[in-house]
Amino acid sequence: MVDDVRDQARQELESLEKSKRLAYMLALACGVFIFLLSWVIKDPDDIFILFLYPVFALVLAGMLLMVWRSSYPLQSLEAVMFTVVAAFILGRLAWHFHFAGSVDEHLLMLAGGHYWSVGVLIVGGFVMLDHKKGLVAGTLVIILSLLIAATGMAGDVPSGQVSQQTLIYLLRVYLFLVLLLGLTAAATTLRDKYRDALIWTKSLQELASTDMLTGLANRRAAEEFLENQVYAARRYGRKVSVIMADVDFFKQVNDRYGHARGDTVLVELARLLRNSVRETDLVARWGGEEFVIIAPEISLQEAKELAERCRRKIAAGQVSGINLTMSFGATEFRERDSVDTVLSRADNLLYKAKSSGRNLIVVEC
């Protein structure tokens, strides 16, 4: 079960990375299109667009190719992409404040386009980087953009070339950016805490339902699984069989080879049993050297065949270098059964197999 959980977590991470790569590829493709479109419809006097936008488009296309090739670590690419995009946006902002003429004339373009890009960059920092790095990156973006604006207007404000209305408008823009940074930081903090709580809860559930030695389901998990199967059997008339299994003369293994070797034997037996049943079946460690197999949707005869397959696989070779056998008791859920009665009957059948010579399968008559 532990291995299954690890595999599931690995698959989820791989799926998340694929989704992120696809989203980044779409965003980069849109960026390339926007830069090229802006270059085509440019103002002839805008030297920044004339010479730099084709370069920006080429750089974004290169990053798109790197994201598409899975050989590049996504985490490193995210940091590179954020840095490059920040350089694009802040560079364009610097152009407007330092080289493009009066700020009053470009205020609409600044507010309607470039400062919104700064806001998107702040939010993107939290998406592409972790929370702490996103907060640092967003703060730096605001500080750098403010320095660009302040140095660009430093000579114009005293001479009255920048109107008071423009200054008030820019102040409101920066207040908005600070508020956006705070709200995004708060939202991602809540998101991360909620995610951590879910992970912790899931970890506790796994610990509560997993046998730490073998990685199989434990007794509690087996009882819960059987309760669900019994409910389905009563409501929908489905079959469910229960097989109890016990290692023959396991005490001799511990006495002769030691408890550490005995634990190794149990781990190997757990693996053999799990590989011998169907994916829909549950194998659990019932206690000590005793295991239980809960097999939905099979008859008693099929349960006997399943137990025989397990018995032969174990008896055919060595388990951790030791010749071993197991005894089995198999039963099928009856209409008036409860979870306790079907388990008790399987356990009694196992006892008969042990007392009848071991390395046997006993089923109910």
Closest to 281 measured CA to CA, from 303, 263, 312: 303
Per-residue pLDDT at 264 = 94
Say yes or no: 195 and 241 in one domain. Answer: no
Domain that holds residue 85: 2-206
Residue 75: pLDDT over 60: yes
Say yes or no: 97 and 231 in one domain. Answer: no
The residue from 182, 206, 230 where one domain ends is 206
For residue 129 the two structure tokens come to 């980087």
The amino acid at residue 299 is: S
Per-residue pLDDT at 99 = 82
Per-residue pLDDT at 189 = 87
Say yes or no: 8 and 153 in one domain. Answer: yes
Say yes or no: 196 and 224 in one domain. Answer: no
- Tell whether 202 is covered by a domain: yes
Per-residue pLDDT at 5 = 52
List, for residues 284-338, the tens digit of each pLDDT value.
Answer: 999 899 999 999 999 999 999 999 999 999 999 888 889 999 999 999 998 888 9
Residue 1: pLDDT over 50: no
Residue linked to tokens 């995004």: 184
- Tell whether 213 is covered by a domain: no
- Tell whether 214 is covered by a domain: no
What residues form DSSP beta bridges with 294?
Answer: 242, 282
pLDDT tier, 199 (very low <50, low <70, confident <90, very high otherwise)? low
For residue 347 the two structure tokens come to 């356990």
Closest to 39 measured CA to CA, from 29, 50, 31, 30: 50
List, for residues 24-67, the tens digit of each pLDDT value.
Answer: 999 899 989 988 998 898 877 778 888 888 999 999 999 999 98
Say yes or no: 200 and 230 in one domain. Answer: no
Say yes or no: 30 and 165 in one domain. Answer: yes
- Tell whether 334 is covered by a domain: yes
pLDDT tier, 97 (very low <50, low <70, confident <90, very high otherwise)? confident
Most confident range, picked from 83-92, 190-199, 205-214: 83-92
Domain containing residue 265: CATH number? 3.30.70.270
- Tell whether 127 is covered by a domain: yes
Number of CB atoms found within 10 A of residue 51's CB = 10
Strand order of the β-sheet with 326-332 is 282-287, 290-296, 240-247, 326-332, 361-363
Say yes or no: 248 and 157 in one domain. Answer: no
The amino acid at residue 50 is: L
Would you say how long the chain is, in residues?
365
DSSP state of 361: E
Do residues 225 and 236 touch, judged by C-beta distance below 8 A?
no
Closest to 99 measured CA to CA, from 163, 148, 42: 148
- Tell whether 212 is covered by a domain: no
Q: Coil, strand or helix: which one is 319?
A: strand
Say yes or no: 13 and 128 in one domain. Answer: yes
d(CA 321, CA 235): 46
Higher per-residue confidence, 76 vs 203: 76
The amino acid at residue 121 is: L
The residue from 174, 206, 238 where one domain ends is 206
- Tell whether 16 is covered by a domain: yes
Say yes or no: 68 and 11 in one domain. Answer: yes
Say yes or no: 119 and 164 in one domain. Answer: yes
Per-residue pLDDT at 218 = 92
Per-residue pLDDT at 54 = 92
Say yes or no: 117 and 262 in one domain. Answer: no
DSSP 194-220: HHHHHHHHHHHHHHHHB-TTT-SB-HH
Per-residue pLDDT at 292 = 96
Higher per-residue confidence, 15 vs 274: 274
Kindly report the average pLDDT of the chain as a whole number. 87
List, for residues 117-165, the tens digit of each pLDDT value.
Answer: 889 899 999 988 888 899 999 999 999 999 998 998 887 777 777 788 8
d(CA 226, CA 296): 9
- Tell whether 126 is covered by a domain: yes
Per-residue pLDDT at 352 = 95
Q: Coil, strand or helix: which one is 111?
A: helix
pTM of the model: 0.60
Residue 173: pLDDT over 70: yes
The residue from 160, 185, 206 where one domain ends is 206
For residue 2 the two structure tokens come to 């532990």
Helices within the chain (DSSP H only): 2-40, 47-68, 74-98, 103-109, 115-128, 131-153, 164-209, 219-236, 250-257, 259-276, 300-316, 339-355
| Domains of the chain: total | 2
Say yes or no: 154 and 296 in one domain. Answer: no
Per-residue pLDDT at 236 = 85
